C-alpha cells in the first residue's frame, strides 16, 4: 500500500497524484481536459487553467488519488460535513468525508477526504480498489434495499471522523456518523457503526454476513 506520488507544480497550485490509488474514474480528464491530458507524458499541466478551476476538479476525484496545495491565497482543500459511503455498481465503495483508515492494531494507515475501497475481494492493493472488479467481472449492481439492516437508525449528521478498520481476513468495520447509499442513490443506512463486505461473497451486500469465513477470504495482497 506504499504511496507512489507524483507532483505537478504550477505558480499558484500544486497537484499531487497517487498512482496506486487511481482507478481511472476520469472525473479529472472529463472535467478539465486542458489540464489533465492522459495521453501526454506530463499528463497534469497546471498552467492550463486557473487554480480555482483545478481545485474544483481535483475535489471531484472519488478515490483521493488527486489532491492539491495552494500557493496563493485561494481556498484550501476542505473536509465534507458528512461521511457518505456510496456503493458503485459492480465496483468499489466510494467514501467521502473525514476518513481515518486504520490497521487492526489501531495504527493509522491513511487520513483523507476521499477513498475507493475494494468490495470484490480481488484487489492486489487491499483495502483500496485497483480495478480488479473488472478483471473478475464482479457481479453486484449495488441496489441493496432500503432498511436492509436492522441498524438503520436516524442520527445527527454533524461531522465526526469516520474510522475504517479492515479486520484481518474479514469485513470493513466503520465507526462514526455515516450515511450509506446504494447505487440507485437510496439511503439504506444511517448510523454510527456498520460492517461492510470486502470479500465479495456476502448475500446481503454491501453489508457483511460472515461469508468471508465460508469463502476463505485473505486480505494478503
**Domain match, 99 and 56 both:** no
- The pLDDT confidence band at residue 129, using thresholds 50, 70 and 90, is very high
Structural contact between residues 92 and 116, judged by C-beta atoms closer than 8 angstroms: yes
Number of structural domains the chain divides into: 2
Q: Is 193 a member of any domain? A: yes
Looking at the structure, do residues 90 and 24 belong to the same domain, yes or no?
no
Q: In terms of domains, do 117 and 157 share one?
A: yes
Say yes or no: 66 and 106 in one domain: no
Cβ neighbors of 11 (< 8 A, separation 6 or more) are 46, 47, 71
Q: Which residues contact residue 166 at a Cβ distance below 8 angstroms, ignoring those fewer than 6 apart?
A: 101, 103, 104, 126, 127, 172, 173, 198, 219
Give pLDDT tens digits for 91-113: 999 999 999 999 999 999 999 99
Averaged pLDDT of the chain:
92
Q: Tell me if 75 is assigned to some domain.
A: no
Mean pLDDT for 38-62 is 96
> How far apart are alpha carbons 59 and 49 in whole angstroms?
15
Q: Does residue 77 belong to any structural domain of this protein?
A: no
**Cα–Cα–Cα angle for 168, 119, 196, nearest 5°?**
65
Which of 16-25, 139-148, 201-210 is the least confident region? 139-148
| C-alpha cell recorded at residue 171 | 469485513
**Domain that includes residue 62, residue range:** 5-70
This prediction has a pTM of 0.92
Q: What integer is the mean pLDDT of 51-73?
A: 97
Is 76 inside any structural domain? no
Q: At residue 157, does pLDDT exceed 70?
A: no
What backbone torsions phi and psi does residue 48 show, to the nearest 5 degrees? -80, -10
DSSP class of 19: G
| Nearest alpha-carbon partner for 101 in 91, 115, 86, 87 | 115
Residue 142, C-alpha cell as written in the block: 449495488
Q: What per-residue confidence (pLDDT) applies to 1?
A: 52
Peptide bond into 38 cis (omega under 30): no
* pLDDT score for 150: 40
In the chain, helix, strand, coil percent, each to 5? 15, 30, 55
Residue 12 has which C-alpha cell? 499558484
The DSSP bridge pattern shows strands 162-166 and 172-181 to be antiparallel
Amino acid at each position: 500500500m506504499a504511496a507512489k506520488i507524483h507532483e505537478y507544480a504550477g505558480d499558484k497550485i500544486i497537484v499531487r497524484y497517487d498512482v496506486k490509488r487511481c482507478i481511472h474514474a476520469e472525473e479529472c480528464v472529463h472535467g478539465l481536459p486542458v489540464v489533465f491530458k492522459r495521453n501526454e507524458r506530463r499528463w497534469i499541466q497546471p498552467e492550463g487553467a486557473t487554480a480555482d478551476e483545478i481545485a474544483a476538479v481535483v475535489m471531484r476525484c472519488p478515490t483521493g488519488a488527486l489532491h492539491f496545495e495552494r500557493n496563493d491565497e485561494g481556498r484550501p482543500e476542505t473536509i465534507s460535513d458528512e461521511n457518505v459511503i456510496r456503493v458503485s455498481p459492480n465496483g468499489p465503495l466510494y467514501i467521502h468525508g473525514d476518513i481515518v483508515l486504520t490497521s487492526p492494531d489501531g495504527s493509522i494507515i491513511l487520513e483523507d477526504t476521499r477513498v475507493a475501497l475494494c468490495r470484490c475481494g480481488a484487489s492486489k492493493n487491499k483495502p483500496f480498489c485497483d480495478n480488479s472488479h473488472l478483471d473478475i467481472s464482479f457481479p453486484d449492481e449495488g441496489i441493496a434495499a432500503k432498511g436492509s439492516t436492522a441498524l438503520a437508525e436516524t442520527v445527527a449528521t454533524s461531522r465526526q471522523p469516520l474510522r475504517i478498520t479492515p479486520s484481518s481476513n474479514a469485513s470493513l468495520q466503520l465507526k462514526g456518523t455515516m450515511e450509506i447509499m446504494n447505487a440507485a442513490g437510496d439511503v439504506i443506512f444511517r448510523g454510527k457503526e456498520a460492517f461492510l463486505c470486502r470479500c465479495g461473497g456476502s448475500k446481503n451486500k454491501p453489508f457483511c454476513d460472515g461469508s468471508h469465513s465460508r469463502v476463505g477470504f485473505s486480505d494478503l495482497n
